[in-house]
Amino acid sequence: MYPVLGQQFIAGARSGLGEPRHQSFDAATGEALPWAFHQATLDEVGQAALAAKNAFGVYRQLSPVRRAEFLEAIAEELEALDQDFVAIVCRETALPTARIQGERLRTSNQMRLFAQALRRGDCLGARIDLALPDRQPAPRVDLRQYRIGVGPVAVFGASNFPLAFSTAGGDTASALAAGCPVVVKAHSGHMATAEQVGCAIERAAKRTGMPAGVFNMIFGEGVGADLVRHPAIQAVGFTGSLHGGNALSKIAAERAQPIPVFAEMSSINPVILLPDALAARGTTIAGELAASVVLGAGQFCTNPGLVIGIRGPAFSAFTEQLKEHLAGQAPQTLLNAGGLRSYEKGVNALRACPGVAHLVGAPQEGSKARAQLFKADLALLLEGHPLLQEEVFGPTTVLIEVADDAQLDQALRALRGQLTATLIGEPTDLLNYQWLVPLLEEKVGRILVNGYPTGVEVCDAMVHGGPYPATSDARGTSVGSLAIDRFLRPVCYQNYPDSLLPAALQNANPLGINRLVNGEWSRGSVGQVRD
Amino acid sequence: MYPVLGQQFIAGARSGLGEPRHQSFDAATGEALPWAFHQATLDEVGQAALAAKNAFGVYRQLSPVRRAEFLEAIAEELEALDQDFVAIVCRETALPTARIQGERLRTSNQMRLFAQALRRGDCLGARIDLALPDRQPAPRVDLRQYRIGVGPVAVFGASNFPLAFSTAGGDTASALAAGCPVVVKAHSGHMATAEQVGCAIERAAKRTGMPAGVFNMIFGEGVGADLVRHPAIQAVGFTGSLHGGNALSKIAAERAQPIPVFAEMSSINPVILLPDALAARGTTIAGELAASVVLGAGQFCTNPGLVIGIRGPAFSAFTEQLKEHLAGQAPQTLLNAGGLRSYEKGVNALRACPGVAHLVGAPQEGSKARAQLFKADLALLLEGHPLLQEEVFGPTTVLIEVADDAQLDQALRALRGQLTATLIGEPTDLLNYQWLVPLLEEKVGRILVNGYPTGVEVCDAMVHGGPYPATSDARGTSVGSLAIDRFLRPVCYQNYPDSLLPAALQNANPLGINRLVNGEWSRGSVGQVRD
């Protein structure tokens, strides 16, 4: 446990010019914790952005292996944080110790995954087209391409993953891997956690000789918008609400120089219960699905917020069993008081909505969230009612009953973009409902069979993305090694002397990476020696 | 030569509901050609977008080889167009026959490059992380990822490349390769050309059994904005002016569902003349550079619009030689009357600007553009004067003289994003000015050594992109096989039965492509057989 200063992180130093007016709170009790955080001044926001810009030139030119060592050092520093640290995270978020320990491991492994991608080197995107001096009708000149970082990235962490989607989360890891320094806007829900993690990153930066300013972090209200407006910032990574993501996207698009935003925002993660599965194992599914709905008090981007089944005795029996499971759930403390208010608002809106039946759940009262189950008329979904399109962040889900396959098709087409969709089916179901797959491919970033969408593996093949409004750009992902692509841009070198080329493109292939040479993949050197 | 109907291309048929009020003109004489094109109605714009949407489901699921065959068939149909076709293109654009024949070859080869990328299959981005049922503390489930098209793409061609950046140009080729049907907004400067090329694509689509609606094209004023607003459109490819690109980007960002825009817009392509090269071969450089400035009447996105040299006798001598070369140039007909007006406006603005000296060039008069040479004070560049940041489309360039390396550094830092930058230098120069390279990497998409930026090779390693305002998204390119990335998004399959997976991800690797399996590249099958 290191002392908490409550100050901005700028270029390897700390700064506290603004008022220390942001208190850290115990999420379970509402008690003030002994730390107040300084509001970053506009000047400090600018300093942080410029520190990142100043670091960019040096940092992006470090070899991929050096950057990998930095990420690995961050992983080690995170793992070295003691039980006092874990206790702070738990107090600020009301998440249980085991969850935080697991999330820490996930966060450090995420750093290592990007280190591995850097060592493999294919994210550099090296391509070489050798000169063809004798080509007719005109010769071809030597052309080589690889990818460099876009520049400083502004990172906005999420409340619900104080480690894995926050200060040292996937956006930071992928930006740093891409060669982009970051300026993190610390989440107001876990500022002491953010500071401890920020210090861990700083220690890793110092011990691996990274330039000051490779990591920066600011605290305060409204500073995120100022950060995105700053000309030094070249891209944005965000996880949070649709409202917040849209607002940042708008600011980014209206800059004198527009910049790309990857915002992971809103998803209700439909689960489709296919008939043979419901008949064969409806009871089991009800238990598993209830567990997924209330896992982490339902505070996951991938929480299953919509469950679709085909009318019939099996779906009716399943509904009864799901009611029982959810009725038996103990109330849970949410991440913060704002989250609870927002959950209550969402639940009350559903309760008040004509066409939505409330099946299970005690009225919201006190400081904990109670599991709720609703059933909505298909018509609401088909007419695009916002209550069936936007996530209610917490332990609740909505059932939709369709009469037949035609209605199932209509229901799925009415959905907006999603992070995930899940098919629960027997082999016979999957064969009969094969037609669902292309439809879902066009709606979501990840399709699961016989699993539950909560629990996002950090690996090369993961996609945590999807069409709008799941994210602001369906071409990206914020989890998995492909996340690095969001922050890279290609640069081409024409007729360059070998010695001036970046190592990734030199004839001898000193990095030993896989390169696309004259249209074929090769790990070798290229024959033509110029200079 | 096929009859010119002047109607919209919608779902494999033709439609002319609007007024036939857009005349095709001879660019050199201003004479009306015998073809009038119907204004697309709002309804026709919607039909075209929906036709593309309807084709998407089938088209994107065709095997990469089928799509490659389609692209190759387009290449063949383009090459089969006869001399009457070439004559039409020449009349509509005032470009010479040899140029159009060369551009046609480039355009058909571009189709073949994307076909090759599809056959290689790495653009599918296949990644497999096999299940690890015994992993501690938690098992890993089977996860697989590949990339599918984003959906229908709106394509806006450019006036200056009636073939290579137009109806069957790079945006169309890369979108079709990605599995995305297109709706082309035909350029008003070469509508008969567009129609002939559109018919060639239609013939290729029919003979390779592509779904109707894989290609659509609309004519008319203001229809582009309606097209980008249409909910079925999922991405935009544009080549043209900064004003036009910004306007489309704004429309795309303000949609209920924002979509990505790749707009290639404005670049002045600085050429930096290093001292030893000027001393050793200033005369040659002056001739080569003049040729690049007036090539194609200067109507290239990569036209060298800014030439920077270090003060001294060599630069003075070079300036005199460049003046001579440009003074000797014959006037040239531009692509259209609008282009000439715009060139005159740009030239007049430069002539009237304090701090800019007019060195060479007869006053603009008549129907042809005259080569012009200017010299501007460094101060104008440093203060960000718009005349030194925005391209004047035509045969003109601006010299900037800097006093020393420090001023050279300042000058380059003052530049906005560019498609290209060029270093003209001897080996000694390149060694002494190595510090320029990182600076240029952050400003441009392509850095050339001892070449001229006009002439953009179509190959895997090309980047025709760069930071804003060169393009709207520095992460993309509109030339070269990487262009396909703009129109692809990843989809992840979790715990999927092998038989339901797309071929690219099946255990047996039936496509024989390179895949990232458990963090290592492999062309083999994967051992684990499930189902």
Query: For B527, how many CA atoms within 13 A lie in the half-sphere containing its CB?
Result: 3
pLDDT given at position B240: 94
- Suggest the residue from A261, A440, A492 to mutate for an interface test with chain B (most B CBs closer than 10 A): A492
pLDDT digits (tens, 9 = 90+) for B311-361: 999 999 999 999 999 999 999 999 988 889 999 999 999 999 999 999 999
Query: Which of helix, strand or coil describes residue B140?
Result: strand
Q: Does B475 touch chain A (CB under 8 A)?
A: yes
Q: Report the candidate in B81, B83, B9, B98 with the shortest Cα–Cα distance to residue B47.
A: B9
Separation between Cα atoms, residue B44 and residue B164, nearest integer Å: 26
Q: Does B222 touch chain A (CB under 8 A)?
A: no
Q: Which two tokens stand for residue B120?
A: 């290689």
- Mean pLDDT score, B494-499: 94
pTM above 0.90, yes or no: yes
pLDDT digits (tens, 9 = 90+) for B233-252: 999 999 999 999 999 999 99
User: Is it the case that residue B528 has pLDDT exceeding 60?
Assistant: no
Separation between Cα atoms, residue B363 and residue B367, nearest integer Å: 12
User: Is it the case that residue B367 has pLDDT exceeding 90?
Assistant: no
- Mean pLDDT score, B461-489: 97
Predicted confidence band of residue B531 (pLDDT cuts 50, 70, 90): very low
pLDDT digits (tens, 9 = 90+) for B136-180: 888 999 999 999 999 999 999 999 999 999 999 999 999 999 999
Mean pLDDT of chain B: 96
Separation between Cα atoms, residue B148 and residue B450, nearest integer Å: 39
Separation between Cα atoms, residue B496 and residue A450, nearest integer Å: 9
Distance of residue B143 Cα from the nearest chain A Cα, in angstroms: 6
Q: Does A38 touch chain B (CB under 8 A)?
A: no
Separation between Cα atoms, residue B389 and residue B415, nearest integer Å: 7
How wide is the angle at C-alpha A83 spanned by C-alphas A80 and A89, nearest 5°? Answer: 100
Separation between Cα atoms, residue A294 and residue A360, nearest integer Å: 13
Pair type for strands A444-449 and A418-424:
parallel
Q: Please list every residue in chain B whose beta carbon sits closer than 8 Å to the beta carbon of residue A430.
A: 497, 500
DSSP state of A507: T
pLDDT digits (tens, 9 = 90+) for A321-360: 999 999 999 999 999 888 899 999 999 999 999 999 999 9
Higher pLDDT, B235 or B2: B235
User: Is it the case that residue A366 has pLDDT exceeding 90?
Assistant: no
Q: Report the candidate in B10, B6, B9, B46 with the shortest Cα–Cα distance to residue B23.
A: B6
Which residues of A, range 71-110, sit inside 8 Å of B by Cβ? Answer: 102, 105
pLDDT given at position A337: 86
Give the whole-number percent of chain A exceeding pLDDT 90: 94
- Do the interacting molecules here have an ipTM over 0.90? yes
Pair type for strands B153-156 and B235-239:
parallel
Predicted confidence band of residue B201 (pLDDT cuts 50, 70, 90): very high
Q: A–B: how many Cβ contacts below 8 A?
A: 206
Q: Please list, in sequence order, all residues whose beta carbon lies within 8 angstroms of the beta carbon of residue A266, skipping any fewer than 6 positions away.
A: A241, A242, A245, A390, A391, A469, A470
Q: Count of CB atoms within 10 A of residue B504's CB?
A: 23
Q: Count of CB atoms within 10 A of residue B323's CB?
A: 18
Pair type for strands A270-273 and B127-129:
unpaired
Distance of residue A426 Cα from the nearest chain B Cα, in angstroms: 11
Longest dimension (CA), chain A: 80
Cross-chain residue pair B122–A447, CB shorter than 8 Å: no
User: Is it the case that residue A529 has pLDDT exceeding 60?
Assistant: no
Q: Please list every residue in chain B whose beta carbon sits closer than 8 Å to the beta carbon of residue A457.
A: 129, 140-141, 143
Cross-chain residue pair A57–B463, CB shorter than 8 Å: no
- Mean pLDDT score, B281-310: 95
Mean pLDDT of chain A: 96
Q: Which two tokens stand for residue A448?
A: 């699961």
- Suggest the residue from B123, B261, B428, B491 to mutate for an interface test with chain A (most A CBs closer than 10 A): B491
Q: Please list, in sequence order, all residues whose beta carbon lies within 8 angstroms of the beta carbon of residue A135, skipping any fewer than 6 positions away.
A: none
Q: Report the candidate in A41, A40, A19, A23 with the shortest Cα–Cα distance to residue A32.
A: A23
Distance of residue B492 Cα from the nearest chain A Cα, in angstroms: 4
Q: Report the candidate in B457, B463, B444 with the shortest Cα–Cα distance to residue A126.
A: B463
User: Is it the case that residue A286 has pLDDT exceeding 90?
Assistant: yes
Separation between Cα atoms, residue A277 and residue A260, nearest integer Å: 43
Q: Report the candidate in A136, A461, A433 with the shortest Cα–Cα distance to residue A309.
A: A433
User: Is it the case that residue B212 has pLDDT exceeding 50?
Assistant: yes
Predicted confidence band of residue A528 (pLDDT cuts 50, 70, 90): low
Considering the candidates B92, B264, B344, B401, report the single residue annotated as catalytic: B264
